[in-house]
Amino acid sequence: MKKCTDCGVIKPYSEFHKEKKAKDGFRNQCKECTKIRKSKIKNVCIVCGKEFNSTVESRYCSRKCQGADSEIKVKANCSVCGKEIYRIPAMIKRHKRHYCSEECKNAGFSKYYSGENAYWYDAGKSEQDRIIGRKVPSYFRWRRLVYERDNYTCKICSCNLSGNLNAHHIMNYSEHEGLRTDINNGITMCKECHKNFHDTYGYKNNNAIQLVEFLINKYVNTEVNK
C-alpha cells in the first residue's frame, strides 16, 4: 500500500505508475491524480486561439504555433545606445531591457546588474557569501546564456512558460568551482523537472550520467503513459 501525495489516499501499488528511480519503484501520485494533473490547466494559444489542456500554463498549443510566433517581430530600442531593434513578442514580454549587440549587452549588464545597482545586493554580505549564494553578475550572465542557447525551453519536457525555468548545473555548483559559469555545464529545465531531478539524485555529486539517465527515464515514462 502507498499514500498518494496529491489526494492523500492510501491505495494499492497497482494504482500507481512504476517509476524506476523512486525508492519503492512507484510514482508518488496515483494514476487518477496523474491523469487529473495532465488536464487540469486550461490554456489558450496566443497564435491560433485554440483552447487546450496541459499540466502547466503554456502559451502555445503546438510546436508549429511556437515557431510561427518566433517569426513575428516587434520594434524595441537598445537599452544602452537607443538603436532601433526588432525582437519576437515573447522576448519583449520576458525582458525589461533589450540590447542590439553583445557589447551593449555586457555594458547594460555591468550597469544594471552589478554592485549596489543589483536588486539582490546586500551590503552586509561578503563577496564570498555572494558567490556561494549565486548573487554575482557572472552567475546571472551564465544563466541568461544557458536560457538563450536553449531558446528559453526546458530540454526535458519542452515547457517554455516564462518564470518557470531554472538553469541546472550538470556538474553541481558547490563542488565544481571551475565549471560554475561554463555554459557547457548548464541545461535549461522547468521548475518541475529540476525538482524531480534533485529529488531523484540529490544535490551533491551530480554529473552528466545522471542527466542522461533522467532524460531516458522521462522519455520512457512519457511513452508508457501515452
**pLDDT value of residue 181:** 87
Which residues share a beta bridge with 3? 10
- Give which of 77, 81, 131, 128 is closest to 106, Cα–Cα: 81
**pLDDT value of residue 88:** 76
Torsion angle, alpha carbons of 82, 83, 84, 87, to 10: -90
Q: Exposure pattern of 165-189 as b/e (b: 16+ CB <10 Å)?
A: bbbbbbbbbeeeeebbbebebbbbb
Which residues share a beta bridge with 26? 18
The CA distance from 69 to 62, in Å, is 11
Q: Is residue 164 in a domain?
A: yes
Q: Is residue 189 in a domain?
A: yes
Weakly modelled stretches of the chain, pLDDT under 50:
119-127, 129-133, 224
In the chain, the number of structural domains is 1
Q: Is residue 97 in a domain?
A: no
Number of Cβ atoms within 10 Å of the Cβ of 146: 24
**pLDDT value of residue 184:** 93
**pLDDT value of residue 223:** 56
Number of Cβ atoms within 10 Å of the Cβ of 210: 17
Q: Is residue 84 in a domain?
A: no
Q: Is residue 106 in a domain?
A: no
For Cα atoms 118, 57, 11, give the angle at the middle one, nearest 5 degrees.
115
Q: Is residue 32 in a domain?
A: no
**Structural domain for 219, as ranges:** 133-226
Q: Is residue 43 in a domain?
A: no
Q: What is the pTM of this model?
A: 0.43
Q: Is residue 178 in a domain?
A: yes
**pLDDT value of residue 132:** 46
Q: Which amino acid is at 50?
A: K
